């Protein structure tokens, strides 16, 4: 289906919906008019934002729960998942992910390693969240250049801000047949006088998940299973707050422990053991389990918030947010730690709301972040780097009649300090010494970037039911440390990764990796959003079109070489020999910059046909092209861009019952990069049933849900493991929630 036809279909549905009956509110709906974006310090609602925003909360969030943040959000328009199996999936917003999408916990960076590699999980937990906010398009003004593609803000009650005399909370449990996943989560909130407290926790345990048999490797010992996809995670949070008339103070501590398999990370010598006749099947299974690679993650996170309100003078409110995160992620093979990634991060944001000035209301603030990231071990592909960022920002709004004007600017300075010992070799032969004399040793000096961003938007109210929104943002992004300094075998992606700070030269001995004499530039995004919103008595509809012109876009280009062809990397060759990768040579990818264009749309419709039945539908599409061909074949396609989607869901509700039946079609992705393959389209069908009752003054929800009911083989084009890790097969989830 073409983009024009799909847009026409959405418009027709919007027009037809006006004639339906008056709209009741079903249990899994939210009142759009009252949803406040906590990620916006001015406190505007979704309808008052010039940029497209979606808030997932309440029962809609409960029904979307998954083990990872990416899988939880992938049903939202414009949002997809990187899908590194079920264990490590991050959000993709309009084709952008990784260091271009900020993942926040209550407005502050999650500070994990998920922006570095797809096999690292996001450490925010959706099962204990009250709402998740998705800001599409650049949101760099508040959150830094790492938000050039969008923001995902996970909100919970860990920092109490309201007095509460009674005890309230929720307990939820579920069981998923596809992986024998057992999940239990709960939270409790209460207080005495000016003091309030919050506690939450969760535990999740699963086995390797089922995949359709036809997607299995015929030579595998576990037909119908994705090996190394189990999860064992626990986490908890404690928060306290003092709520005064004009001053609020809150503090929280959170702990996360997670052990999870890394699909596709088993090493080939396991197969050699399998081929030896003297090993029986049981012994082989034991050795396979021992030698599978898994990750062990630990994180301690501290957050605080101080709010001053009702202040006299030029500023009426002042807010100070702080976070300290101690993150460690180790990859374990055969019982031994192979590589350890760690990040010690500090973040502080101080902002103040000023008194109205000529009709303008707004905030000014300062933002500081510090990240001390290290990667130590045989599979470390990027040097330890300390990164600091300091910024000033301002946001302003003014209402003039039917127009709500929104302006903003941010001035940011970022500095990377890499550890050059990562590039040093302990031993040099005569040939290598001659090379160093000619080209010089690899020695990066501190790298600094100034990123200046601004935006201008307007929301025009057409009438009491519809509005138009327009936003233009010019956003700059400082390249991440891994995009500049990477130089090593990145096992999870199956590539030898080379940063933009290097060049590959051809000399008499072969291909040589040398430090580049050219500087790496900021990415500069010029993004335009145009949205139409209709919120009537029987129908709610939103359609957004975007066009994003990015100068100096950083992407990984296939060099056509493999790591054995790079002179001076015998250590990588030895590592490949150790893991028996001779037949699967590691290709070399290097980060390069050129201009790129991304454009597309999102559309969603909620239409009440009568008191019991409503229809939800959505569609999204992203097209991404480089200005110049990235290969000799003339291929301009940006890699791993999700295909177009079209989804529809029927909701039926009466008395104490709520049922859903839905399907989402993923189109064939034929716009793929030179080293990718085409991904076939597929349709996923789901259904669910909820029953609501009351027990001892507590609200109880019993639910059952079926996913991929047709047991369809489905592969995610945006996944590095597309050919290894298809989506789960048919599954049924049983569970209960109790609110008290």
Q: Is the pLDDT at 272 greater than 60, yes or no?
A: no
**Three-state secondary structure readout of 620-677:** EEEEEEECCCCCCCCCCECCCCCCCEEEEEEEEEECCEEEEEEEEEECCECCCCCCCC
Query: pLDDT at position 507, please?
Result: 75
Nearest to 650 by CA among 677, 682, 613: 613
| Check whether domain 3-739 has CATH 2.30.110.10, yes or no | no
Report the share of the chain in percent with pLDDT over 90. Answer: 64
Domain boundaries, the chain: 3-739
pLDDT digits (tens, 9 = 90+) for 245-266: 999 999 999 999 999 998 876 5
Q: How many residues are there in the chain? A: 740
pLDDT band at 511 (very low <50, low <70, confident <90, very high): confident
The β-bridge partners of 188 are 169, 199
Kindly indicate the confidence band of residue 584, based on its pLDDT and cuts at 50, 70 and 90. Answer: low
Distance CA 690, CA 692 (A): 7
Q: What is the mean predicted confidence (pLDDT) over 372-399?
A: 92
In this predicted structure, what is the pLDDT of residue 39? 74
Give the span between the Cα atoms of 598 and 601, in whole angstroms: 10
All residues at 6 or more sequence positions from 692 whose CB lies less than 8 Å from its CB, including other chains: 27, 656, 657, 658, 699, 700, 701
The whole-chain average pLDDT of the chain stands at 86
What is the C-alpha to C-alpha distance for residues 709 and 730, in angstroms, rounded to an integer? 5
Q: How does pLDDT run across 599-649, given as a tens digit for each residue?
A: 999 999 999 999 999 999 999 999 999 998 776 678 899 999 999 999 999
Number of helices and strands in the chain (H, E): 9, 34
The CA–CA distances, whole Å, from 534 to 15, 21, 530, 563 equal 10, 16, 14, 54
SS3 509: coil
Separation of alpha carbons 670 and 679, rounded Å = 7
**How high is the pLDDT of residue 294?**
86
Q: Which residue has the higher pLDDT, 437 or 686?
A: 686
Q: How far is CA 604 from CA 11, 188, 517, 540, 624, in A?
A: 10, 34, 48, 8, 22
User: What is the pLDDT confidence band of residue 113, given thresholds at 50, 70 and 90?
Assistant: confident
- Residue 582 Cα distances to 268, 558, 575, 577, angstroms: 10, 19, 10, 6
Phi/psi of residue 577, nearest 5 degrees = -60, -40
What sign does the dihedral 108-113-117-120 (CA atoms) show?
negative
Strand partners, 186: 171, 201
Specify the pLDDT at position 564: 82
Compute the average pLDDT of residues 389-397: 96
Q: Is the pLDDT of residue 446 over 80?
A: yes
Least confident piece of the model among 381-385, 404-408, 561-565 = 561-565
**CA-derived radius of gyration, the chain:** 26
Q: Is the pLDDT of residue 273 over 60?
A: no
Tell me the average pLDDT across 467-489.
Answer: 94
């Amino acid at each position: 289906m073409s983009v024009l036809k799909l847009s026409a279909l959405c418009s027709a549905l919007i027009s037809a919906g006006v004639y339906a009956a008056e709209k009741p509110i079903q249990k899994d709906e939210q009142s759009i008019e009252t949803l406040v974006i906590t990620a916006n310090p001015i406190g505007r609602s979704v309808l008052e934002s010039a940029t497209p925003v979606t808030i997932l909360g309440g029962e809609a969030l409960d029904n979307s729960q998954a083990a990872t943040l990416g899988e939880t959000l992938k049903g939202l328009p414009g949002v997809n998942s990187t899908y590194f199996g079920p264990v490590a999936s991050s959000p993709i917003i309009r084709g952008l992910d990784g260091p271009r999408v900020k993942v926040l916990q209550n407005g502050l960076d999650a500070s994990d390693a998920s922006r570095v590699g797809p096999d690292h999980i996001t450490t925010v937990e959706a099962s204990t969240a009250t709402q998740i906010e998705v800001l599409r398009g650049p949101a760099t003004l508040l959150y830094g250049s790492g938000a050039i593609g969008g923001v995902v803000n996970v909100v919970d009650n860990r920092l109490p801000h309201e007095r509460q005399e009674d005890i309230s909370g929720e307990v939820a449990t579920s069981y998923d047949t596809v992986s024998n996943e057992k999940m239990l989560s709960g939270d409790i909130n209460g207080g005495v006088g000016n003091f309030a407290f919050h506690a939450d926790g969760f535990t999740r345990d699963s086995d390797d998940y089922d995949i359709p048999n036809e997607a299995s490797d015929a030579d595998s010992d576990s037909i119908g299973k994705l090996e190394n996809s189990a999860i064992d995670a626990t986490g908890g949070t404690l928060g306290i707050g003092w709520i005064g008339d004009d001053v609020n103070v809150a503090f929280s501590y959170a702990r996360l422990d997670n052990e999870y398999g890394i699909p596709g990370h088993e090493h080939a010598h396991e197969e050699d053991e399998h081929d030896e006749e003297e090993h029986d099947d049981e012994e082989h299974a034991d050795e396979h389990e021992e030698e599978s690679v898994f990750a062990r993650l630990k994180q301690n996170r501290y957050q605080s918030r101080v709010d001053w309100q009702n202040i006299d003078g030029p500023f009426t409110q002042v807010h100070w947010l702080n976070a300290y995160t101690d993150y460690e992620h180790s990859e374990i093979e055969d019982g031994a730690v192979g590589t350890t990634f760690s990040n010690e991060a500090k973040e502080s944001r101080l902002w103040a709301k000023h008194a109205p000035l000529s009709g303008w209301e707004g905030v000014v603030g300062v933002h500081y972040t510090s990240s001390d990231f290290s990667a130590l071990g045989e599979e470390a592909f990027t040097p330890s780097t300390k990164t600091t960022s300091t910024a000033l920002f301002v946001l302003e709004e003014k209402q003039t009649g039917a127009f709500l004007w929104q302006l903003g600017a941010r001035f940011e300075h970022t500095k990377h300090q890499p550890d050059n010992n990562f590039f040093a070799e302990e031993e040099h032969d005569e040939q290598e010494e001659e090379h160093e004399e000619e080209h010089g040793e690899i020695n990066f000096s501190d790298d600094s970037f100034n990123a200046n961003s601004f935006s201008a938007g307007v929301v025009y109210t057409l009438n009491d039911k519809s509005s138009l929104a327009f936003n233009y943002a010019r956003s700059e992004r400082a390249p991440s440390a891994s995009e500049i300094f990477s130089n090593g075998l990145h096992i999870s992606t199956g590539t030898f990764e080379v940063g933009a700070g290097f060049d590959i030269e051809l000399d008499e001995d072969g291909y040589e990796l040398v430090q580049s004499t050219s500087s790496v530039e900021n990415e500069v995004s010029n993004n335009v959003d145009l949205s139409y919103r209709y919120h009537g008595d029987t129908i709610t509809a939103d359609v957004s079109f975007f066009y994003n012109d990015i100068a100096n876009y950083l992407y990984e280009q296939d060099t056509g070489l493999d790591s054995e062809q790079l002179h001076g990397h015998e250590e990588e060759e030895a590592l490949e020999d150790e893991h028996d990768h001779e037949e699967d040579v590691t290709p070399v990818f290097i980060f390069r910059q050129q201009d790129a264009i991304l454009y597309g749309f999102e559309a969603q419709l909620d239409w009440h046909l009568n008191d019991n039945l409503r229809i939800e539908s959505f569609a999204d599409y992203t097209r991404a092209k480089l200005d110049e061909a990235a290969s000799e074949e003339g291929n301009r396609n940006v890699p791993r861009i999700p295909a177009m989607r079209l989804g529809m869901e029927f909701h039926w509700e009466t008395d104490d019952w709520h049922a859903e039946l839905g399907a989402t079609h993923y189109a064939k992705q034929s716009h793929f990069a030179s080293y990718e393959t085409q991904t076939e389209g597929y349709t996923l069908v789901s259904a669910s049933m909820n029953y609501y009752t009351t027990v001892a003054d507590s609200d109880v929800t019993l639910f059952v849900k079926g996913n991929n009911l047709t047991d369809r083989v489905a592969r995610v084009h945006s996944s590095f493991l597309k050919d290894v890790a298809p989506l789960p097969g048919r599954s049924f989830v049983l569970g209960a929630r109790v609110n008290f």
